[in-house]
Structure 1
Amino acid sequence: MIRVLLAEDQALVRGALSALLSLEDDLDVVGQAADGEAALAAARELKPDVVVTDIEMPRLSGLDLAERLRAEFPEIRVIIVTTFARGGYLRRALEVGARGYLLKDAPASELADAIRRVYAGGRAIDPNLAGEAWADASPLTERERQVLAEAEGGASTAAIAARLKLSEGTVRNYLSEAIGKLGAENRTEAARMARERGWL
């Protein structure tokens, strides 16, 4: 049996996924979590083979969850199931160690097959997104992305500098570079544009 943990903040979707996967003879849904932190705790306790997670969740996003799981439990495979059909999100998912990326409108049989493929050591990527992911590469460096993500929440330059252990001047430079690369008017617009493309 392949042991599966589901992480999804919408109870209805989580329940539907669990019911559908439980119909498969070789899949066992051993746990469910409504947010990323709860999913991480459940993974530590239940040691699933595969974690199926949404991207946007409270307390810890699916991408952050995938990164933490890769660091703590490299043997646990992660599949992202999301509504975000954006190449930028797929790229980031692969960068943090996810082995699968499917859209929520995919048939249930596709998800079951993806779990089997990923469990066996393969990948399961929505074919329509695969090409787009590489065509839509982010122009932002990792530091620019971090600074912009902090700015998105409305943090001041001083607060960003303190959180990322940088000087305020360095933070201003990163913000200026990111704004310029995205052709935005200001940091707020730059963060919004980057978020829409799946780069944050």
Structure 2
Amino acid sequence: MSVYPLHGLAQHYAWGGRRFIPRLLNWPAEDAERVAEWWLGAHEDAPSVIMTAHGPQPLHYAIAHQPERFLGSAVRGRHGDRLPFLLKVLDVEAPLSIQAHPDAEQARAGFARDNAAGLAAHDRRRHYRDPFPKPEMMVALSPFWLLHGMRADAEIDIGPRGWPMRGARTAACSAAICSIWWLCARARPSSSRRVCRTLICMDAMSS
């Protein structure tokens, strides 16, 4: 068994911080660029680099050429010739956008649908660039607020008019969501659930 030094790659998003990741990696303090994420994995858009006897190699390249050596038979048998996870270190200074990650069935169906539509791998209109699910696990290294999951369809279908009002702010928020819910329900009932699910969660937390 061999052990290789592994070098990750930084992602510079607008919501990232300027201190935590640079300090973690002992980067120069004068670099004021925002560093939102540090990736360790074999994602082809930002693969980590391993140091071998033949020089540096992108991890996804090394796995593709020697999958048994870098993954082992158990991982290959379950996930194929790919590293089945991506480790990210995040420094969140501002709220992130809402993210929706597919499960295994949704990923396979969506990928097949985009392929059938003739969309190239990097086409901006594509929703699924691979057929793999995107479950996430988060380990907080400092105090962190995370809104996760959605209310059940049965609760959402009742509609928001029965919510208790606690002050002008909550009343205004509930009234706005009622309007959105009503418009979506008239146009397409299933859409009302998808559009309002997150809004209802957010309003319930503010009340």
TM-score normalised according to structure 2 size:
0.28
By percentage of residues, which structure has more helix? 1
* Structure number with higher strand proportion: 1
Rg larger in 1 or in 2? 2
